[in-house]
Copies of this chain bind each other. A is one copy, B any other.
């Protein structure tokens, strides 16, 4: 499994605490004693795939580096947690736990939501060899965390950003003059460690991309029948990624066309947050 992106998480958490706590959680400071201790339990209010547990913990650690919080964990990232199950308990300073609560839940609910959605989509693919991949349609600032959650959910990552993959789109083709020129220049100028993928909208473009020597082709917004014919036409010479208008319902039928990858922005931009509660005892 991919490593949890600690450094990226810390940046996100610091920014989130800055904007929420700012000059102080005034309500908590005026109503709760500075040395009050409390025990809280984190409970799943619905079935979910857990992702981001370390994020949850880090919020409180960064909020109060000297807080002597004590954690007991019942689950870790990747576990399927049932509704009503405890995820963890924490004992510690009441102010720290109250002040960090919302920021910690916001992050955990979002990341577990992505993992849960991804897991449910992956289930549709069953035993097929088609894989589900994410996109760059992530929340600004949260990409590393959201891509991590996709992997926890059983999906696979597409390129992380513009720097670790070549994806030649319509406007690049226009600027280069043709698919052929764009692919040739990519081969010549880009590091040999990167594959080349071309976005196509019809078979003429598909043929030209394959002919030009691309490694992969993104089949943009095609229906299942067209996808199936594209698979046939490509004869295994390139990796084929189906993209556009994906839904959980359609997934199995797209996989049946024989494409290698299905990409869906929905995994990250539309995953509903899952419900988790921090109950104070």
Would you call A25 an interface residue if the criterion is a C-beta within 8 Å of the partner chain's C-beta atoms? Answer: yes
Give, as a whole number of angstroms, the nearest-CB distance from A9 to chain B.
Answer: 11
Q: Which of A12-20, A80-88, A222-230 lies at the interface with chain B? A: A12-20
Residues of B within 8 A of A261 (CB): 192
Contact across chains for B159 and A22 when beta carbons are under 8 A apart: no
Contact across chains for B193 and A140 when beta carbons are under 8 A apart: no
- Nearest B residue to A190 via CB reads B30
A contacts with B, residue count (CB < 8 A): 92
Would you call A102 an interface residue if the criterion is a C-beta within 8 Å of the partner chain's C-beta atoms? Answer: yes
Tell me the A209-264 residues at the B interface (CB within 8 Å): 215-216, 239, 241, 260-261
Would you call A136 an interface residue if the criterion is a C-beta within 8 Å of the partner chain's C-beta atoms? Answer: yes
Would you call A29 an interface residue if the criterion is a C-beta within 8 Å of the partner chain's C-beta atoms? Answer: yes
Contact across chains for A16 and B107 when beta carbons are under 8 A apart: no
Tell me the A1-24 residues at the B interface (CB within 8 Å): 1-3, 5-6, 8, 11-13, 15-16, 19-24
Tell me the A186-221 residues at the B interface (CB within 8 Å): 186, 188-195, 197, 215-216
Q: Whole-angstrom distance between the alpha carbons of A38 and B171 in the complex?
A: 10
Would you call A91 an interface residue if the criterion is a C-beta within 8 Å of the partner chain's C-beta atoms? Answer: no
Contact across chains for B195 and A27 when beta carbons are under 8 A apart: no
Give, as a whole number of angstroms, the nearest-CB distance from A280 to chain B.
Answer: 5
Would you call A69 an interface residue if the criterion is a C-beta within 8 Å of the partner chain's C-beta atoms? Answer: no
Contact of A95 among B3, B24, B26, B185 (CB under 8 A): B3
Residues of B within 8 A of A173 (CB): 31
Tell me the A31-90 residues at the B interface (CB within 8 Å): 31-34, 36, 38, 64-66
Give, as a whole number of angstroms, the nearest-CB distance from A174 to chain B.
Answer: 7
Q: Whole-angstrom distance between the alpha carbons of A22 and B23 in the complex?
A: 9
A interface vs B, CB < 8 Å? 1-3, 5-6, 8, 11-13, 15-16, 19-34, 36, 38, 64-66, 94-95, 98-99, 102-103, 106-107, 110, 133, 136-137, 139-144, 156-169, 171-176, 181-182, 185-186, 188-195, 197, 215-216, 239, 241, 260-261, 269, 273, 280
- 17 chain-A/chain-B pairs, Cβ below 8 angstroms: A5-B23, A19-B160, A21-B163, A22-B22, A22-B23, A22-B162, A23-B161, A24-B163, A26-B166, A27-B162, A30-B166, A102-B137, A133-B191, A139-B142, A163-B163, A165-B194, A193-B197
- Sample of 9 further A-B pairs with CB below 8 A, known A13-B140, A31-B181: A12-B140, A19-B161, A22-B163, A26-B165, A28-B172, A98-B171, A99-B162, A158-B192, A159-B191
